Structure 1
């Protein structure tokens, strides 16, 4: 989920476009892992009404439509651009009749009518909220009795380079992530949270938890290079003011698409991250 508003203008639109690109690449590269999570959900019956909170460009929406062929999904996000992209994908798949999009900032009081879903999916969205405890209570209230909430969170941006890379500035990626983590500690305090106690406090019963280690060799898909480029470009925009000048210069060498050191032509890339999921039921 994003908290973007359309009136923020060109700069915001550019940021949303970059974020949408990363979300699309994330869906492409991690598709198998996402499918394994939807298969793992401890459901008592096939859901017919699904709510995707903070749907982005639709990675979860389409994984759930594939997994549950009789289901309809209400996809909610604050970004009009993300929702437009999602609708275009639904039309391309012939699934437009099974998807309803709703633009809403879920930090605002008084949510729109989101129905009474059997399954709520919240992937990498709750940690963006100012009051996730309130959001969880709202989800509990609208879930059908016996319904399930799946909270999926990633351990920050994935890592792509070996620890001793790049050869001209070893350890660069880890220093970029350390700078990002320091900034996010203040801005996004719920990132990396243990959602179990928060779910219990909101009235849910946590039925299962799982952490999935993700490791994908870059040789498996050329999309890994593009994913690395987009992700590290976004990190650069966040930490440029805090990196050492030598690190910033080295990072720019990696990010130059046509440069001699571009990420797009490295043979040692991989996607390494963790995905944690909590499955919580409303009784």
Structure 2
């Protein structure tokens, strides 16, 4: 089996902390909408560096936020991040190792009670069979509890259509290659099975009601602040690096990216004043009857 789609979570852990800090405002906006006054137990599935765990904790009067991930290196990053950012004893943030849906029973026992809110961002798509994973999460909810899946939306764009190197549409082709990479990754997961319907349908099939979707536009027009511009260039370099060994990018496109991502080259993206950030993030919500 090819390994070019395997994710090295230990290597990505520092990037997860950076991403959590960059997304702080988005997390807080959503947590403000999702957390109800009486919530006492929230769960962050596939927690990354626990950025959403922190946002949820800030919206709760008291209780627990359980930050769940299957990968020890990710949980270490979450633990370090929350220790640095959180000290209010009224709401505890507890890292916990568990994989969904395989270890649902162990997670239920560790929680000790049904959850008021479950958040899962870019996590369920790592399960080979996604519908049982959604159903398992729904089964952890208390009556009136909410399951929020942050999946889908539109990929982040940064570059003008013509960057002056290679064929125009360079970033469009990068997105297309990323989509093919994702298809390969899904096919190589243990027990992989297609889910030929959308996330709202998956929530309904899991027995949830009042299913809705909220999509948030994230837009930062040029000129970007220096720190944001560096983060954009680093993110593009990481994506190109991941796709380089897959054969999904042409030699001509890789040559163009090599120049754009080389700080010693006159075409380095860090010199450009027209970089931007534009994406749309979707959150799908269902309520336990």
Tell me the TM-score normalized by structure 1. Answer: 0.84
Query: Residue 125 of structure 1: which of 120, 123, 131 is its match?
Result: 123
Report what 2:24 is aligned to: 31
Distance, in Å, in 1 between the alignment partners of 2:127 and 2:269 is 32
Distance, in Å, in 2 between the alignment partners of 1:218 and 1:25 is 21
Q: Which blocks of at least 5 consecutive residues in structure 2 are unaligned?
A: 188-193
Distance, in Å, in 2 between the alignment partners of 1:151 and 1:265 is 37
- Shift in Å, 1:87: 0.9
Distance, in Å, in 1 between the alignment partners of 2:137 and 2:101 is 13
Q: Indicate yes or no: 2:135 matched with 1:137.
A: yes
Number of residue-to-residue matches in the alignment: 270
Evaluate the alpha carbon distance shift between residue 191 and residue 226 of structure 1 in structure 2; reply closer, same or farther with a 3 A threshold: farther
Kindly provide the CA deviation profile for residues 154-197 of structure 1, in whole angstroms up to 9, marking residues without a partner as x.
43641111222x22233211111111112323433779962111
Kindly provide the CA deviation profile for residues 75-94 of structure 1, in whole angstroms up to 9, marking residues without a partner as x.
11122111111111111124
Q: Indicate yes or no: 2:265 matched with 1:272.
A: no
Report what 1:70 is aligned to: 62
Evaluate the alpha carbon distance shift between residue 222 and residue 72 of structure 1 in structure 2; reply closer, same or farther with a 3 A threshold: farther
Distance, in Å, in 2 between the alignment partners of 1:51 and 1:271 is 29
The equivalences for 1:1-283 within 5 A come to: 15-41=8-34, 44-95=36-87, 98-112=92-106, 113-115=109-111, 116-155=114-153, 157-164=155-162, 166-169=163-166, 170-188=168-186, 194-217=198-221, 219-240=223-244, 241-283=247-289
- Shift in Å, 1:209: 1.8
Evaluate the alpha carbon distance shift between residue 60 and residue 94 of structure 1 in structure 2; reply closer, same or farther with a 3 A threshold: closer
Distance, in Å, in 2 between the alignment partners of 1:191 and 1:157 is 20
Report what 2:190 is aligned to: none
Tell me the TM-score normalized by structure 2. Answer: 0.82
Distance, in Å, in 2 between the alignment partners of 1:55 and 1:174 is 29
Distance, in Å, in 2 between the alignment partners of 1:63 and 1:223 is 23
Question: Higher RCO, 1 or 2 (CA under 8 Å, sep at least 6)?
Answer: 1
Q: Which blocks of at least 5 consecutive residues in structure 1 are unaligned?
A: 1-7
CA RMSD of aligned residues (A): 2.7
- Shift in Å, 1:18: 4.8
Distance, in Å, in 2 between the alignment partners of 1:32 and 1:281 is 24
